Amino acid sequence: MGFAMGLAKPEIPVVREFSHERICPMPVISKFYGIVIRMLFIRPFDVHFHAIYDNTELIVGVSPVRIIQGDAPGRVRDMVTEWAVEHQQELLDAWNRLSAAQPPRAIAPLR
């Protein structure tokens, strides 16, 4: 079935691995204040997650918590790092579940 007129086809992240493409949806593990937290396990990379806000994206390392890449308003960066410190063990657990091909558990939003 096609998409209704005026509705864009949803984007699915594509991961390149060993010179071929495969479709890998990035599960949402939390949402707060318009920020969407997603995580995708990729074997050679350190534990990290993606924080998407409006048209910006941050890639955030978990151990230690740090912004690896991206840009977002200062308040968003502060909220994301505060949330990550508060939920560091749960983020590590989510990464481990994804590495075992299991879905991650939802993580509480920043309060």
Judged against a pLDDT cut of 60, whether residue 8 lies above it is answered with: no
Residue 14, domain member (yes or no): no
pLDDT tens digits for 25-84? 799 999 999 999 999 998 888 999 999 999 999 999 999 999 999 999 999 999 999 999
Residue 5, domain member (yes or no): no
Residue 41, domain member (yes or no): yes
Residue 52, domain member (yes or no): yes
- Give the CA angle between residues 108, 52, 66 to the nearest 5°: 75
Using alpha carbons only, how large is the chain's radius of gyration in Å? 15
Respond yes or no on whether the N-terminal peptide bond of residue 73 is cis (omega within 30° of 0).
no
* CA–CA dist 85, 12 (Å, integer): 28
Cα separations in angstroms, 14 against 8, 48, 89: 17, 17, 27
Task: Give the range of the structural domain holding residue 94, as residue numbers without chain letter.
Answer: 27-99
Residue 76, domain member (yes or no): yes
* Predicted model pTM: 0.77
